[in-house]
Chains A and B, each alone.
Chain A
Amino acid sequence: MTTPNLTEPLKIGTIVRIRNSGYGRARIVEFRGPLGPKGARVYRIRVRKKPRPAYIEVLEDQLETASVGK
């Protein structure tokens, strides 16, 4: 059984932080859909890293939106 998502998905390009991670600010680059456990939303996140950015897919409840400039 899936949990209905009553709110709109986060927008592509939103700056976020990933809870319980050592990453700094990151950017949502793709909404992957309700692919998490019980239909939880999954996002693909780009994390700034040298020499190339890293990508990670996380659940919506792991994300907190970050203010631009902080």
Chain B
Amino acid sequence: MALFSHPVAGAPPLGPVAPPPLAQESLQGYVMLVSGHFQGFCRDLYTECAQLCAAAVPAAMRTTIQAQFAAGLALNTWNPTNKSIRKDFERFSFLLDLGGAAPGNPQRVTHLGHLNYWRNHVAHQNATPPPAGVPAVLTLADIQAWRASCDGLATSLDDIMRQELTRILGAAPW
């Protein structure tokens, strides 16, 4: 924490402070980590849901269902954006409205957009400044807020899929 934040007022210096370039690189690594972790969560949840549906059909049809669920999966190649999450999860025959699923979600979806913007900015070493509305500089506080938003969205997505699978399967899946 101290590596990225300003020293606490009145506190004695604790020793050498990492040079700014290293701090920036650490923050950039953190962005990649948070984005990748959220993508992994979404991908795993999708697989769990798909396998539950596949298990509900006759064995001879199972591979067909699994192949359909796996074909062209956005989360295997794209960032975990609101669009790619919708594209994949709406295969379960419903309209996914992550932003409307909980009171705090509109802000969380915005944060997810910022996270993915910065994820690409870091991965592709973009030199162009971010557009208006996106934080112009990476800060630890921003990344922590984005991470908290991903936590909230993960909880929402889990709740939504539990409801949808209950509708599809006729019993609560978890």
Contact = CB atoms under 8 A, between A and B. Distances in A.
Nearest to B48: A35
Interface residues of B, number: 18
Contacts of A33: 44
Contacts of B47: 32, 35, 42, 57
A19 B58 CA distance: 13
Interface of B: 44, 47-48, 50-52, 55, 59-60, 62-64, 66-67, 69-71, 76
A34 to B, nearest CB: 10
Q: Contact residue range for chain A?
A: 20 to 34
A42 to B, nearest CB: 6
Main secondary structure of the interface of A (DSSP, over half): strand
Contacts of A42: 47, 51
Contact of B62 (A23, A35, A62): A62
Given A20-B60, A32-B47, A42-B47, A57 B70 contact: yes
